[in-house]
Amino acid sequence: MPRKPQLICPAGSLPALKAAVDRGADAVYVGFKNATNARNFAGLNFTDQQLTDGIAYAHRHGREVLIAINTYAQAGRVAEWRQSVDRAAEIGADAVILADFGLLDYAFHTHPSLRRHLSVQGSATNFAAINMAHECFGVSRAVLPRVLTLPQVEYVIKNTPVEIEVFGFGSLCVMAEGRCILSSYATGQSPNTHGVCSPAGSVRWETDGAQMKTRLNDILIDQFEDGEPAGYPTLCKGRFAVEGDTYYALEEPTSLNTLSILPELLKIGVAAIKVEGRQRSPAYTAEVTGTLRAALDAAGDAHYSVKPAWQDALTKVSEGHQQTLGAYSRPWR
Amino acid sequence: MQLTLGPNLYYWPRAQVFDFYAEVAAWPVAVVYLGEVVCSRRHEVKSADWLALGTELAQAGKQVVYSTQALLESASDLQGLRRLADAGGMIEANDLGAVEIARKAGVSFVAGATLNIYNGPALDWFAAQGATRWMPPLEAGRATVAAILAETSCAIETEVFGHGHLPLAFSARCFAARHYNLKKDDCQFKCLEHPDGMPVDTREGQPFLRINGIQTQSAACHSLYDDLAQLAGIDYLRISPQATHCREVVAAFAARLANADARSDLAALHPQGLVNGYWHGQAGIATQPNL
């Protein structure tokens, strides 16, 4: 029987970290309060003291804390990113999650005993890329971008000694992570440079009669009729006109949900399943962690099936209340 | 500074591709990038054809570089690339997997914009693997590029994206197939019907994006035509192929590089507008007058 994957859960605050630990996460991933991580939102993330407390709490319960330092170090400010890696090592993080090859090189040479994971923002979609990160920086785990089918994930796993982590639940980037600068095209800030996508500071909610218009740096991303629930203007999830048709030209607001394929993910040998959502509330972290814990514990069972209660729990916290298997099954393929 | 012609990002019928490069042989560009960089389903021109075209262009005095796909997913994607590297051609690595193949084959390479080189130490690392030229991320402006070069310790050529629709994002999903309600594996090669991609407008009619298969581009054309005086330290300026007016654009840039007073009305050739915000540290969609 294949080894059960680790469950990796998001925390944007100390209460969320504790909730993840309490509800059964094997590891919690977090970020510092600065531009070094890809969820650099106001009011989110950890001070050094909160992280020290969080790591102590997790370790007391036999769980791990992984620190995401997964934006790209900006020229002239490389020291900020390096200091974040140094701090992660000092306060006893179990691993750092990095994307920048300059920073990986630094971490490998400066903190060889600090485990290094290749972030999804590193855009490594094939075993050649992952094996290079392993050979050059001793990367022990890689998080795959959400663009591969199940057979493609399996092919990567078979051709690398590096542990493979995949996304199991959460908001869906339809673009390859680390390969999308739509946000800076519209606003000047992107995940790679500022750790943000469609940043809140550029958003305007505008009422026009009964209509609600959502804008990003004045660009109309979507408009909603009276009674239609208005979503956050993430720019790849807006409605646009292409040759006279107005529709979700790139992607509907939707969440990835892999409950139905957990047995396959176990079978092909993924080492860890990650939940997206450091920007979400502690209640979200608790709900999703508890549900995926129960599902993962059952997924090795020959009679596994998705329990309606799990599905209901995840539907409630899904973006747009819609869910998809994303690239794993590619209904559009 | 010299001009280069980037890889063709669009899917054109075979005859159009050959006609295009037959003309390119006489254009004032020092380097020509060849190959399919967007979608592995595009097969009007095969690897052997690209190599043959490369030989012809090299005979015409061009430096030829074979560009790799920006999203290498499958075994066949990687194998095709190994064949190119083994044939001894210089490659532009647009994916980390391509870097691995180049360094293992011991061939020098151009580090493409999607390798996400945002700082000097990262650039030094890629140079140590064999990169002899690099292209900064498209969102990096003049100040950022200067800051990266200031903190690097390697000697490397720098090329910036000078003119064309910006390739902003790559996906596993094909947005052209989606538009036609087709599955990606049965896309009927709809991209062939859109030689410059499909414009995406906001519901207020503002030109915003451009669908090119799995790639999302800017609707507007990014152009550094009015910024040529500010390109100190840049060795190469890339012009990205378009189905129409490409020859005029190359000629306009060449004329202005030779004589700063030369003026062409490039805006007239680009109805969806010209932008240059990225180069000025702003949103890419912004236009910064710089006359």
Q: Tens digit of pLDDT for each residue in A198-220? A: 999 999 999 988 899 999 999 99
Residues 6 or more apart whose Cβ sits within 8 Å of residue A102: A73, A78, B119, B120, B121, B122, B123, B124, B125
Residues A226 and A264 in one domain: no
Choosing from A208, A228, A247, the residue where a domain stops is: A247
Task: Name the DSSP letter for residue A230.
Answer: P
Q: A224, A247, A270 — which closes off a domain?
A: A247
Q: Is the pLDDT of residue B291 over 70?
A: no
Per-residue pLDDT at B74 exceeds 70: no
Statement to judge: residues A161 and A303 lie in one domain: yes
Min mean pLDDT across B127-136, B139-148, B261-270, B282-291 is at B282-291
Q: A203, A218, A247 — which closes off a domain? A: A247
Q: Are residues A28 and A153 in the same domain?
A: yes
Residues A94 and A46 in one domain: yes
Q: For residue range B199-226, what is the model confidence (pLDDT) as tens digits?
A: 999 999 999 999 999 999 999 999 999 9
* Domain residue spans of chain B: 2-280
Q: Residue B166, SS3?
A: strand
Q: Is residue A178 part of a domain?
A: no
Residues A259 and A115 in one domain: yes
User: If contacts are CB pairs under 8 Å, which of residues 34-93 in chain A contact chain B?
Assistant: 72-76, 78
- Highest mean pLDDT of the ranges A169-178, A208-217, B72-81: A208-217
Assess whether A165 and A79 both reside in one domain. Answer: yes
**From the list B118, B203, B278, which residue is nearest A75 (CB)?**
B118
Based on the fold, state whether residues A220 and A238 are members of the same structural domain. Answer: yes
Q: Are residues A88 and A126 in the same domain?
A: yes
> What mean pLDDT is reported for chain B?
93
The answer to the question of residue A124 being in a domain is yes
Structure tokens belonging to residue A144: 């795959």
Which of A46, A41, A48 has its CA nearest to residue A17?
A: A46
Residue A56 reports pLDDT greater than 50:
yes
Which residues in chain A have Cβ-Cβ distances shorter than 8 Å to B125?
101-102, 105
Q: Is the pLDDT of residue B290 over 70?
A: no
Q: How far apart are CA B207 and CA B154, in angstroms?
A: 40
Domain count, chain A: 2
Q: Which CATH class is domain B2-280?
A: alpha beta
Beta strand ranges found along chain A (DSSP E) = 6-10, 27-30, 64-69, 95-98, 115-118, 141-143, 163-171, 175-180, 203-208, 211-216, 219-224, 240-242, 245-247, 255-257, 272-275, 323-324
Residue A321 has pLDDT above 70, yes or no: no
- Mean predicted confidence (pLDDT) in B29-52: 93
- The answer to whether the CB atoms of A327 and B216 lie below 8 A apart is no
Give the pLDDT band (50/70/90) at residue A1: low
Residues 177 through 196 of chain B touching chain A, CB cutoff 8 Å? 177-179, 183-185
Chain A CB within 8 Å of residue B144 CB: yes
| pLDDT on residue A331 | 56
Q: Is residue A179 part of a domain?
A: no
Q: Is residue A177 part of a domain?
A: no
Minimum distance, in Å, between the CA of residue A166 and any CA atom of chain B: 15
A15: buried, middle or exposed (CB in 10 Å: 19+, 13-18, 0-12)? Answer: middle
Find out whether B139 and B118 touch, Cβ atoms under 8 Å. no
Residue A243 confidence (pLDDT) above 90: yes
d(CA B100, CA A131): 8
CB contact under 8 A, B114 and A123: yes
H-helix or E-strand spanning residue B164:
strand B157-171
Instruction: List all residues of chain B from 1 to 20 with a beta carbon under 8 Å from chain A.
Output: none
pTM score of the predicted model? 0.95
Per the structure, the complete domain to which residue A314 belongs is given by 6-172+254-328
In this structure, are A39 and A92 located in the same domain? yes
CATH of the domain at A278: 3.20.20.70
Do A136 and A228 reside in the same domain of the chain? no
Same domain, A118 and A224: no
Residue A203 domain flag: yes
Q: Are residues A42 and A149 in the same domain?
A: yes
Q: What is the ipTM of this complex?
A: 0.96
Which residue among B71, B208, B281 places its CB closest to the CB of A147?
A: B71
